[in-house]
């Protein structure tokens, strides 16, 4: 990527496509490179079940595809959380999808800094 990524680079289009989803991004230094962590928060499990895959694809298209280094591509993480909890069946689908990024479901009470 030519300039450091800012969440604002994709947030406008993201908000239009996913109005009920909140997204944030953190860059995590790792050895001589970095990892990227996206935190995706849903208000309810229905929206999560219906759109997690689309959100994942959005990040893959508008972010991961623009990364220059293989290390960063392989170290992009999407952390999903839901205010009403994540059903085990949905969690299984999310965490076993390996396209574009690693996906992990987290508890609503875990802060971003605790994760990274």
Q: Which CATH number does the domain housing residue 69 bear? A: 3.30.300
d(CA 96, CA 102): 9
Q: How far apart are the first and last CA of the chain?
A: 22
Block residue for tokens 């999407």: 78
- Which residues of the chain fall below pLDDT 70? 1-7
d(CA 27, CA 21): 20
Task: Please indicate, yes or no, if residue 65 is contained in any of the structural domains.
Answer: yes
- pLDDT of 12 reads 77
HSE at residue 80, side-chain half, CA atoms within 13 A, is 30
* Residue 95 lies in domain: 8-108
- pLDDT of 82 reads 95
What total of structural domains would you count in the chain?
1
Rg for the chain, CA atoms, rounded = 14
How do residues 56-79 score in pLDDT, each as one tens digit?
999 999 888 888 889 988 999 999
């Amino acid at each position: 990527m030519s300039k450091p990524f800012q969440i604002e680079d994709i947030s406008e289009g993201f908000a239009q496509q996913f109005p009920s989803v909140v997204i944030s991004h953190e860059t995590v230094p790792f050895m001589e490179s970095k990892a990227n962590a996206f935190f995706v928060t849903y208000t309810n499990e229905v929206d999560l079940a219906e759109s997690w895959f689309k959100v994942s694809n959005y990040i893959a298209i508008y972010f991961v595809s623009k990364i220059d280094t293989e290390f960063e591509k392989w170290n992009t993480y999407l952390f999903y959380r839901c205010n009403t909890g994540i059903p085990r069946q949905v969690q299984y689908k999310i965490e076993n999808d390996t396209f574009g990024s690693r996906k992990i479901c987290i508890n609503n009470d875990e802060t971003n800094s605790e994760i990274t």
